[in-house]
Structure 1
């Protein structure tokens, strides 16, 4: 990625070293035990919304108001490479969706807060730790990430490169966009009336739409902001492939259970990220396709 000279986001809540003033307790939301925590960890490693498993999902009501972030410490250019990646990626998404929302959806874009922490933290959706991976919490409209997740991408998922981390950030911003446009609430309500298999299939559609939105951002980052370098898209595709449901299940248990998929196969995640990257289409009609098509 061509990060030099790019501006970072002002919407960073830097809680590394307890700078965010947030309690560092280890209790999970609602007193959930270890079994639930393990499920949540798997869900969030896949880039999903843990609130559905912690009882804090957005059901379509008024969104929570985001609080002002704490100022990042020091000069961004003197910070770690991973901090520069997430901050500058977030800023680039803000520019894109800040233009798209008024033009395409007739409303202003509400920028999310990105919480950077280390070790463990607490969100409005429950417990966050280095093991849980990045996630978006619709209850407080914040993205949570421990920067050591970049090491997990490289070591466990074998998805190296700075753009693999940028793809993860753009995917979580995709969940924020879904929350604003009402897709998250629609899916949450629909899942409550479905069988487990059908509810999982609905979650897959939401995740693939977030992958598509990440691809749309990459489309414009490549063509208008000059952020991408040679090989960046390949890095994102490798990351998307590595965190497909089938790939993770094969790695963790040696076999796959398709009815339990909640995020899509490696092939699906690559397909829809690539579709967003190639088209850059932000129309509501295209986004609605993810919930109107008979199958994906």
Structure 2
């Protein structure tokens, strides 16, 4: 990917190295992180059993050399999807390192693409902010952690990215390459486009009356459209001379490796279609390629007919 030397976006909010309070990550589309139920009496307050339980936990950790009162006071423990990470003592990431420059450049290219598309329709594209963080941070959609992966929050119109996910993408999901990383960013920006065009607000409205299975099916259509929008960006980037040999294959491989069926097979050995919420590998590859081949927003209608 020929990205060096190109314009870099100023719409970056770098929170790396900043400490954030405890809490659990929540996906902006309603798939929540793990919550710890606290038993209580009507009107608030903890039950006697809960207090005893917490006291036991405190002294067990104390015996192990972990002072939870000190940890909570410092605000250095952050949780997400069932595990904790200390981020308060991490050094701040370099403000101008190569990864930051890469993210800024890709974001700038998405701005160029969508500014042009919106302008053709007589509309103005409101550029999103992209938040770089490590470990955990706050968003209008709740606590974000590295465990939630990259996501877009409609509440504050920001993309959230812990760049450690790129190592996971390569090492765990076998989807290496800078264009695979760019595809992830472009996909999240695609959700921002959906927010501006009313797709996400309508989905969130309809979801209130949906059961889990129906909401999952609708979520798949939302995610596949974002893949298609990422493909449109890839087409635009190709016209700008940014793509190198093998880049398109990197993006398609990434789409394949993070399909619901592939992820389920890898993690549990079998597939549960009713639990799909992003689309199969074949669907994700198909819709990304459809966006790339057409370069046209009208080709990305995932809400009509079969997908």
TM-score interval for Structure 1 and Structure 2 normalised by the shorter chain: 0.7 to 0.9
Are residue 118 (structure 1) and residue 96 (structure 2) matched? no
How far apart are the structure 2 equivalents of 1:231 and 1:257? 32
Give the match for residue 241 of structure 1.
256
Task: Identify if the C-alpha distance between structure 1 residues 292 and 12 changes in structure 2 by more than 3 Å, giving closer, same or farther.
Answer: same
Contact 1:121 1:129 in 2 (8 A): yes
Unpaired runs of at least 5, structure 2 = 34-91
Q: Map 1:30-109 onto structure 2 (within 5 A).
A: 40=26, 49-53=27-31, 76=96, 79-80=97-98, 82-104=99-121, 106-109=122-125
Contact 2:16 2:93 in 1 (8 A): no
1:152 is aligned, of 158, 164, 168, to 168
Q: How many residues align?
A: 249
Are residue 291 (structure 1) and residue 306 (structure 2) matched? no
Contact 1:112 1:141 in 2 (8 A): yes
Shift of 1:86: 1.5
TM-score between both structures, scaled by the size of structure 2: 0.77
Shift of 1:74: 7.2
Tell me the SS of whatever aligns to 2:143: strand
Instruction: Supply the RMSD in Å over aligned alpha carbons.
Output: 1.9
Q: Map 1:1-296 onto structure 2 (within 5 A).
A: 1-18=1-18, 24-28=20-24, 40=26, 49-53=27-31, 76=96, 79-80=97-98, 82-104=99-121, 106-223=122-239, 225-283=240-298, 286-287=299-300, 289-293=301-305, 295-296=306-307
Instruction: Tell which has more relative contact order, 1 or 2 (C-alpha 8 A, sep 6+).
Output: 1
Contact 2:227 2:284 in 1 (8 A): yes
Task: Identify if the C-alpha distance between structure 1 residues 101 and 73 changes in structure 2 by more than 3 Å, giving closer, same or farther.
Answer: farther
Superposed structure 1 runs of 4+ greater than 6 Å apart: 72-75
How far apart are the structure 1 equivalents of 2:284 and 2:210? 23
